[in-house]
Every structure is written in structure tokens, then in C-alpha cells.
Amino acid sequence: MEVGYGSGDKTGFFTQGRRSLEALIVQFKVKTVELARNIKKLGQDDPRRVIHSLKVGLALTLVSTFYYCQPLYSNFDETAIWAIMTVVVVFEFSVGATLGKGLNRGMATLMAGGLGIGAHHLANLSGHIGEPILLGFFVFLQATISTFLRFFPTLKARYDYGLLIFILTFSMISVSGYRDDEILEIAHRRLSTICIGGATCVIISIVIFPVWAGEDLHNLIALNIEKLGNFLEGFGDEYFKRTGREECNEDKKILEGYKSFLNSKTSEASLANFASWEPGHGRFPFRHPWKLYLKVGTLARECAYRIEALNGCLNADIQVSSEVSTIIQEACTTMSLESGKALKELALAIKIMVPPSSADPHIENAKSAAKNIKSLLKSGIWEDIDLLKVIPGVTVCSILVDVVTRTEEIAASIHELASKAQFKSAESPLSEQIQSVKSAPMVNCSHVITVSESTLAASQSESSSAPKDSKQSMEV
């Protein structure tokens, strides 16, 4: 019996073991498939990510084999480090970020190198005992001051990396135990290897499928305003006819596309910062007014907060009653539709860089609808209706009136942008051009929204928020 039990246990053990092994394998397969799907999605969402990875690999291989095949210096290892390190650290997703980091690194190394050599020389004069004390004091002083400077918002935005490299280079050079003439030689070698690494990054990032932060910012702002327009265009139908038809998830996705915009301030700011490092490219000259995009973005975000409130009305427990609905529907739908159209025209005007005058008639329509609703509310039509039934409708009306005002402000800021950036009327008849561009983005719309949301989810990947379709059309 005991043996029987034992063998039964053993069989049970093996069976159980095989089963759990099989379960493990199945789980592993599922995980692998899931991982592969994630990787594929990440690449498909923005193929520029794959290209960027290949570019980094190329730059690194170029620099390292260059040094490997032609050892220019006797002490090969040490100098190769600096070129490789520069490529790894400086190569960023967009041209602007790469240039900014490269220039920061180069300038900081030059300046800190000069100061460091001076400090080293000064310390040398003070004798054998005084030297380490004086050097320690210098290192402490400059590290403390530079670290504190990094807290200044303006310096942090543009020169944070430069200050870091300044601390690093100064400390290394002033501490190193070499004689003065050797130091000069080392400083020279370091600077030249850093230049080689930096130049490789900048050239590859500009020549091979460049990703311009400025263009990303331009497209991001246009896309966000278009999303607001999408919501407003769909809002009237959704609000007044929601009892009449089934809810469609696809519609809802388009309607709620604006949500990613509520938190995009940080990405806009960093894109504008990168863009300011970029040379003139394509449609954007060197001193393109990037800061005005931030102003447009801020105003549009103000509008997005109102739209968030409208979305709250859409999902509220108490919906508008049918008798109120018949009274306000026309004016509300007009306000919503016309300001939506105006916003989409404004987005389009940014996208194709023409003065946004085609939005003006829609704004006028929205304004007159707002006037209508105000006089409608003044009329005696409401006396028979229970106030509680009126409230949801009236709330929507007042938010929409507010949205019309915001739309006007956005239009004014885009007019300013158009005049400062010298947007020119297209040579081909505008309506044709608009038709041709209009048909394109709507097809990919839900896709574009997915892209930006997945991008914004990675809160620190601040330089890849532009839609890919507009990018591709530029490359073709």
C-alpha cells in the first residue's frame, strides 16, 4: 500500500509537473505574442521610432569602427570613449534636441576646459600642500554655484545639459594630476573627439529622414485644434439626438480625442524649446515665431476646459427634456457646429500655412447664433416650463456661448501667428486646396488620435507627438 501510495504520489507529481510546465509554456507563448504585438504597435504608431533607432545604431557603428579601423591616437581607448559617449548621450529624437544638446556639450566643454586649466595652473603655484586644498575649494565652489544655477527656470529650459557638462569637465580637468602642457594636449583631443561625435549625430539626424521638432509642434497644435473642432461638430447631434439612436463607440472616440490635449502643455513647451535650436527647414525659416504656437496652444486649452464641461453635460444623469430641446436645439446646434467648423478651418489654415480668413464667416455665424440664443432666453417662451427642466439646456447654452468667445480669441491669436510668420495665401484657388487636404486627415483621424495618446502616455517622451501622415506627405 505504501509503495502504491508512493508511486501514486510520484505519478501525480510528474503529471502535475508536466501540467504546470505546459501551463508555463502556454503562458510564455501568450506573453511573447503580446510583447511582439506591443513592439509592432509601437513601430506602426510612429515608424519614425524605428528609423530613429536605426540612425542611432548607424551613428554609433560609424564612430566606433572609424576609431577601430584607424587608431588615430596612441592612447586609443581613452579618446574613443568620448566620441562614443557623445553619440550615445547627444543623439535625440528630433534635430532640435540633438543640436541643442550637441551645442550645449561643445560650448560647456570649451568654457569649462578653459576655466579648469586656469584653476589647475593657479593651484600648481600654491605649493605641494596648498594645491589639493585649493583644488578642492575650486571644485566645491563651481559645483555648488552651477548646481544652483540649474534651478533657474530659464536656464534649466535651454542650458541644463550644458551646466551639467560644465561641472563635469571643470572637475575632471582641474583635478587631473597632469602637467600643464599635457593638459592642453588632452583638452584638445577631448574637444576634437566630442566634435567628431557631435557632428556625426547632427549630420545623420539632419540628412537621414530628419525629424523636426518645429514641424511636430506645428502639426501638434493644428491636430489639437482640429480635435476640438471634431468634438464641437459632433456635439450638437450627440446631445440632442442621443435618445433617438444607438451610441457608437467610434463616434465617442472621435469626440473624446480632445482629452489628450488637456495635459499636453509640457510637450508643447519642450517642442518649442527644441524647435528654437533648429535651422530653417522646409516651410519654416530660421526665426519662425515658435513662441506664438504656445500662445495659441494655451488659448485652445482654455477652450478645451470648456469642452470638458460640455462633455460632462453629455454624460450627466439629467438630460435635456424634449420641450426645451425643441426650443434651443437649432441655436445650440448652430453655435456648436459653426464654432467647430471655424476651429477646423483654423487648424487647416495652420496646417497648410495660409491666413485663416476662411474661418471668419463661421465665427460670424456662431456669434449670431449666440445672439439669437440670448434673445430667445429673454423671450416669454419659458413661462410654462418647469425651471428644473430648463436647467440642463440653459447650462449647455451658456457654455456654448463661452466656447464661441474662446473660438474668437483662438482665431485672433492664429491671425497674429499668420501675420508674424508671414503665412501666404495659396496660389491655387484656396477652395480646391482645402478640399484636397480636407479629405485626407479625416480618414486617418481616429488613427492619429491613437498615436498622440500613446505618445502622451509616455509623459517624458516629449518630442514625438506629431501625426505620422503629415510627416510622410512631407517626405514624399
What's the min distance (Å) between Cβ of 475 and a copy of itself?
20
In the window 26-45, what residues touch a copy of itself (CB under 8 A)? 38-39, 42-43
**70-78, 213-221, 230-238, 247-255 -> range binding a copy of itself (CB under 8 A):** 70-78
**Which alpha helices (DSSP H) does 208-321 contain, by range?**
213-241, 249-255, 265-275, 290-314
Nearer to a copy of itself, 272 or 359 (CB): 272
- From 250, 275, 246, 261, select the one nearest 306 (Cα to Cα): 261
What is the helix (H) or strand (E) element at residue 426, kind and residue range?
none
List the one residue from 6, 8, 57, 361 that touches a copy of itself (CB under 8 A): 57
- Answer for which of 110, 168, 412, 437 binds a copy of itself (CB under 8 A) is 168
Which of the 8 DSSP states describes residue 179?
A: -
Select from 54, 203, 208, 474 the one that contacts a copy of itself (CB under 8 A).
Answer: 54
Closest approach of a copy of itself to the CB of residue 242, in Å: 19
CA distance 87 to 82: 9
DSSP H stretches of helix in 150-179: 153-175
Among 1, 5, 128, 177, binds a copy of itself (CB under 8 A): 177
Interactions with a copy of itself, residue window 444-463 (CB under 8 A): 454, 457-461
Sequence-ordered list of residues with C-beta below 8 angstroms from that of 135, at least 6 positions apart, any chain: 119, 120, 123, 174, 175
**Residue 68 C-beta: closest distance to a copy of itself, Å:** 5
Measured between alpha carbons, how far is 397 from 334 in angstroms, rounded to an integer?
Answer: 11
Instruction: Please pick, from the candidates 12, 17, 130, 136, the single residue that binds a copy of itself as defined by CB under 8 A.
Output: 136
Q: Which three cell numbers stand for residue 72?
A: 588615430
* β-bridge partners, 281: 284
* Interface with a copy of itself in residues 378-407 (CB under 8 A): 378, 382-383, 386-388, 390-392, 394-395, 397-399, 402
- In the three-class reduction of DSSP (H, G, I as helix; E, B as strand; rest coil), residue 211 is classed as coil
Q: What is the 3-state secondary structure (H, E, C) of 347-367?
A: HHHHHHCCCHHHHHHHHHHHH
Q: Is 68 in the site for a copy of itself (CB under 8 A)?
A: yes
Residue span binding a copy of itself (CB under 8 A) among the ranges 258-266, 278-286, 336-344, 426-434: 258-266
Q: C-beta of 280: minimal distance to a copy of itself in Å?
A: 26
Q: How many helices (H) and strands (E) does the chain have?
A: 17, 0
Nearer of residues 388 and 476 to a copy of itself, judged by Cβ: 388
CB of 234 to a copy of itself, least distance (A): 20
**Residue 73 touching a copy of itself (CB under 8 A):** no
260 part of the interface to a copy of itself, by CB under 8 A: no
DSSP structure class, residue 420: H
Residues in contact with 294: Cβ distance below 8 Å, sequence separation at least 6, in sequence order: 268, 269, 272
122 belongs to the binding site for a copy of itself (CB under 8 A): no
Cβ neighbors of 50 (< 8 A, separation 6 or more) are: 43
Pick from 305, 371, 440, 442: which binds a copy of itself (CB under 8 A)?
A: 305
Q: How far apart are the first and last CA of the chain?
A: 80
Round to whole Å and give the CA distance between 116 and 466.
42
Residue 334 vs 464, nearer CB to a copy of itself = 464
- Of the candidate spans 155-163, 231-239, 353-361, 363-371, the one that interacts with a copy of itself by CB under 8 A turns out to be 155-163
Q: Which amino acid is at 32?
A: T
In the complex, the smallest distance separating the C-beta of residue 22 from a copy of itself, rounded to whole angstroms, is 29
Q: Considering CB under 8 A, how many residues would be counted as binding a copy of itself?
A: 90
| Shorter beta-carbon distance to a copy of itself: residue 1 or 457 | 457
**Least distance to a copy of itself, CB of residue 211, Å:** 13
- Are the C-beta atoms of residues 448 and 315 closer than 8 Å to each other? no
Footprint on residues 355-374 left by a copy of itself (CB under 8 A) = 374
320 contributes a contact to a copy of itself by CB under 8 A: no
Tell the burial category of 335 from Cβ atoms under 10 Å away from its Cβ (0-12, 13-18, 19+).
Answer: buried
